[in-house]
């Protein structure tokens, strides 16, 4: 055993699973980069926003590397941070200097690609309360889909696979977040009233209430709902086999619901599906290479029980 391995083992941070800190490390890099953005654009954002961002950066870094942090907290910290990360995106968009959104460009892309506006036309063409409620229910399932695969892996004791799944998921989120900061798109529900309103329904109303309360303007392209659902569909099938196909089926309904409900342009959905599939495959390939690389048996990463 070399001296470095001895030192790491003496403080309890040696592990064969370097993936244990991938998601946290990725998030620290993202938060550090956006902290710089906030400092550069400080005149456009409130000081409290900068301070809260800095506090999260410190908290995630501590949870990722600090000795004595509970292992469950280290494992779940990146996922716990998601609500704040999403809600602060309008702040980061303002810090980047954007005065408006790029919906006009996306609407033109939509017209060129589809010869119309599916997010405006689908619900008008197929008005149905039953169909509307079903698609809105699958759209709402997104919040469960985020945690379904990680929870299934973690509570079945498959901690190495949990770490890889969370890293892939967080990488997809980070790619989406960077896209929103660079190219904010509000989405069709900010431009026109969706014909889906005519269908009414309890689930439709609940979805609209939730979006009004928690949605961040400027986060339509690519659709993170679709990107994350595609990611979780791939991971569910990879780790749970045919049992995981249920997430793929629900994700298909979510994808259609995003357009039918007027929440996303169709091109948002296509871009989200591409980001989810491509980034997930890249993340899985990277994790496979790193975990099989020579000399990783004593990687500097915390273990899970």
Tokens of 129: 């309360």
Residue 248 resides in a domain: yes
Spatial separation of the C-alpha atoms in residues 161 and 287, rounded to whole Å: 10
For the segment 200-250, what is each residue's pLDDT rounded down to a tens digit?
899 999 999 998 888 889 999 999 999 999 999 999 999 999 999 999 999
Taking the C-alpha atoms of residue 250 and residue 11, their distance in angstroms, rounded to an integer, is 44
How many Å apart are CA 130 and CA 136, to the nearest integer? Answer: 10
Measured distance CA(112)–CA(98) in Å, rounded: 25
pLDDT at residue 4 is higher than 80: no
Distance CA 102, CA 124 (A): 25
Q: Does pLDDT of 288 surpass 50?
A: yes
**What's the CA gap between 287 and 303, in Å, rounded?**
16
Q: What mean pLDDT do residues 271-296 have?
A: 83
Q: For residue 244, tell me if it sits in a domain.
A: yes
Residue 177 near residue 89, CB atoms below 8 Å? yes
Containing domain of residue 228, as a range?
A: 3-295
pLDDT classification of 304: cutoffs 50, 70, 90: very low
Tell whether 188 is covered by a domain.
yes
d(CA 168, CA 231): 8
Give the residue-averaged pLDDT of 25-48: 97
Give the chain's end-to-end CA distance (angstroms, integer). 23
Is cis: bond before 222, omega within 30 of 0?
Answer: yes
* pLDDT value of residue 291: 65
Total domain count, the chain:
1
Residue-level pLDDT at 139: 96
Q: Residue 293's pLDDT is what?
A: 53
pLDDT of residue 20: 74
The 10s digit of each residue's pLDDT in 129-153 is 999 999 999 999 999 999 999 999 9
Nearest-angstrom CA–CA distance, 232 and 241? 12
- Model confidence at 12: pLDDT above 90: no
Q: For residue 300, is it within any domain?
A: no
Residues contacting residue 215 through CB under 8 Å, at least 6 positions apart: none
Confidence of residue 289 (pLDDT cuts 50, 70, 90): confident
Percent of the chain with pLDDT over 70: 89
Q: Is residue 303 part of a domain?
A: no
pLDDT for 158 beyond 60: yes
Torsional sign, CA 132, 258, 147, 153: positive
The answer to whether residue 301 sits within a structural domain is no
| Section 178-184 average pLDDT | 98
């Amino acid at each position: 055993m070399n001296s470095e391995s001895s030192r790491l083992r003496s403080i309890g941070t040696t592990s064969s699973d370097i993936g244990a800190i991938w998601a946290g490390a990725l998030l620290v890099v993202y938060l550090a980069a956006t902290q710089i953005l906030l400092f550069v654009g400080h005149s456009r954002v409130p000081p409290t926003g900068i301070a809260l961002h800095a506090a999260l950066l410190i908290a995630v870094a501590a949870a990722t590397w600090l000795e004595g942090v509970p292992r469950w907290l280290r494992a779940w910290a990146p996922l716990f941070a998601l609500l704040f990360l999403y809600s602060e995106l309008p702040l980061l968009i303002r810090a980047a200097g954007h005065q408006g959104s790029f919906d006009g460009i996306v609407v033109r892309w939509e017209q060129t690609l589809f010869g119309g506006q599916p997010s405006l036309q689908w619900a008008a063409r197929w008005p149905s309360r039953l169909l509307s409620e079903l698609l809105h229910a699958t759209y709402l399932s997104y919040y469960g889909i985020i945690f379904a695969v990680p929870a299934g892996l973690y509570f079945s004791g498959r901690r190495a696979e949990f770490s890889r799944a969370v890293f892939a998921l967080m990488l997809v989120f980070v790619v989406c977040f960077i896209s929103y900061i660079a190219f904010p798109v509000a989405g069709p529900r900010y431009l026109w009233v969706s014909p889906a309103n005519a269908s009414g329904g309890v689930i439709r109303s609940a979805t609209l209430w939730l979006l009004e309360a928690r949605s961040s303007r400027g986060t339509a392209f690519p659709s993170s709902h679709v990107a994350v659902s595609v990611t979780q569909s791939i991971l569910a099938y990879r780790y749970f086999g045919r049992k995981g196909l249920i997430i793929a089926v629900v994700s298909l309904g979510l994808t259609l619901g995003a357009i039918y409900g007027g929440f996303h342009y169709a091109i948002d959905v296509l871009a989200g599906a591409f980001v989810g599939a491509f980034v997930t495959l890249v993340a899985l390939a990277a994790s496979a290479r790193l975990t099989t690389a020579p000399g990783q048996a004593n990687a500097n990463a915390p273990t899970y029980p």
